Structure 1
């Protein structure tokens, strides 16, 4: 795809990602490597059984499904079924790629064992962590009194964080444009995903532990760490996400996804600090979500 075409597509991609992949690397199936120094993430304790993964799925979207497209995202990562037959090579492990972007979505775009609860806000959509309705008044108190430097999220919210990787020789930066270059307009892309329950708690995880801040490992830009201890990531083929797409308006692009199945608690102050200090991604707000893709014809079979 010519770079000029890619750049025209970028404004419509929200922050969800993917471009046609290159030839498969020999190590493609080694799909998950995390820095040895990653701090352990404390998974959110399971809530009452009524908040479990038996929670019914939202009603399917009305209207005709898009035709002729590859597998779409987001999906329920606990369901393995999928009949979309379009195949593309899996991206290499994160350590073999270059971090190009970090951003967040308010409410989880995916549905998983630790975040099965559908948002009650039909405009927002997405899913919430188990236990999000059982927080104390102190955990729900906003230390910025509604005027925090990172917008669109408050204590008690669920967010899904995306660490975006590119095969291009690029540096981290703003939006999807940072993931390609004039000499690399057809990158292989990968997203590492973690869902967090945002709380007012200095003993919860510090978002600063997972940011870039100029960190280089193996000669490549990398986050300082990726979350761990929230379950083995579910790896699958998918597409761009973001609210511009639906089951009727599909993304034509491709991405390898790696989604951790359980939530972790994240301190709201650390998220505010990321925005207040400034970051190379110019992120100062959380983004919207794409509705869950449920049609089997739009989902890839899960990787064994």
Structure 2
């Protein structure tokens, strides 16, 4: 081992002497982090955080997408690489037809093409807010520490009008029992896995953790989504000002950063 003295943590990890978690020098004192492999229920982070109410008891505050799945699940296990544009792809990616992979004539929603996987997040808050741009729309001066819940669905994007339409899952000013709600949420992709985690996105890693505590509800299977409906969503405009898909946060694997899953 003497010849390895002076190498960085990352270099030692590459040689197999340290785990990836050790190499990243894990952040300390934070609650459970996200994304994760939802097939794995183990976790050592038992910070006292209660599960948020169901989505129909909260206000929808934001809808956005990530290109490739941030989570790993039974239906999305194909590794797409490291970095901001890595993550996981739907298992059926290699089985799409030529027609499903055909590029549409125009594209108003950027960062996604037929054959891509996206993970859609419907973010909900206990705050009395109006849905809008970014996660800041989930907070307010009168409600800086809300309960947050994210309903997450992974889609395989195809050029097929018979596939699911994103417009069916939009907001469009929908109010139910006095609460802002999506028009609908996916229902045919398996029982969601519910757990405590954090916010995601490429600005966070295992060494740079998110301080916000979030209840996640992640569906385990992919569904096909028509790309033309994503373009229509961007073309007509939306209160979230979303016209492109975002980068991903790499999978959190360190048990110290994961909450145990009970369901």
Fold match (TM-score > 0.5): yes
- State which of 46, 52, 62 in structure 2 corresponds to 1:101: 62
Question: SS of the counterpart of 2:235?
Answer: helix
Q: Distance in 2 between matches of 1:163 and 1:122?
A: 23
Tell me which residue corresponds to 2:211.
Answer: 252
Pairwise CA distance, 1:303: 2.3
Determine whether 1:274 maps to 2:233: yes
User: In structure 2, do the counterparts of structure 1 residues 268 and 91 end up closer, same or farther at CA, with 3 Å as the change threshold?
Assistant: same
Determine whether 1:88 maps to 2:36: no
Q: Which has the larger radius of gyration?
A: 2
Pairwise CA distance, 1:109: 0.2
User: In structure 2, do the counterparts of structure 1 residues 302 and 280 end up closer, same or farther at CA, with 3 Å as the change threshold?
Assistant: same
Pairwise CA distance, 1:88: 0.7
Tell me which residue corresponds to 2:36.
Answer: 75
Q: Is the 8 A contact 2:37 2:251 kept in 1?
A: yes
Pairwise CA distance, 1:127: 0.2
- State which of 66, 75, 79 in structure 2 corresponds to 1:118: 79
Q: Is the 8 A contact 2:32 2:257 kept in 1?
A: yes
Pairwise CA distance, 1:121: 6.5
Pairwise CA distance, 1:289: 0.2
Map residues 92-241 of structure 1 onto 2, 5 A cutoff: 92-120=53-81, 124-144=85-105, 147-241=106-200
Deviations 1:86-118 (Å, cap 9, x if unpaired)?
Answer: 121111011110000000000000000000110
Question: SS of the counterpart of 1:138?
Answer: coil
Pairwise CA distance, 1:123: 5.2
- State which of 288, 292, 295 in structure 1 corresponds to 2:254: 295
Q: Is the 8 A contact 2:84 2:250 kept in 1?
A: no
Tell me which residue corresponds to 2:8.
Answer: none
Question: SS of the counterpart of 2:216?
Answer: strand
- TM-score normalised over the length of structure 2: 0.90
Question: SS of the counterpart of 1:137?
Answer: coil
Pairwise CA distance, 1:63: 2.4
Question: SS of the counterpart of 2:231?
Answer: helix
Q: Distance in 1 between matches of 2:193 and 2:83?
A: 27
Question: Can you give the 5+ residue segments of structure 2 that lack an aligned partner in the other structure?
Answer: 1-18
Question: What is the aligned-residue RMSD (CA, Å)?
Answer: 1.3
Deviations 1:97-153 (Å, cap 9, x if unpaired)?
Answer: 000000000000000000011004755110000110111111111113xx5110000
Pairwise CA distance, 1:178: 1.1
Pairwise CA distance, 1:171: 1.2
Aligned residues: 244
Q: Distance in 2 between matches of 1:70 and 1:216?
A: 32
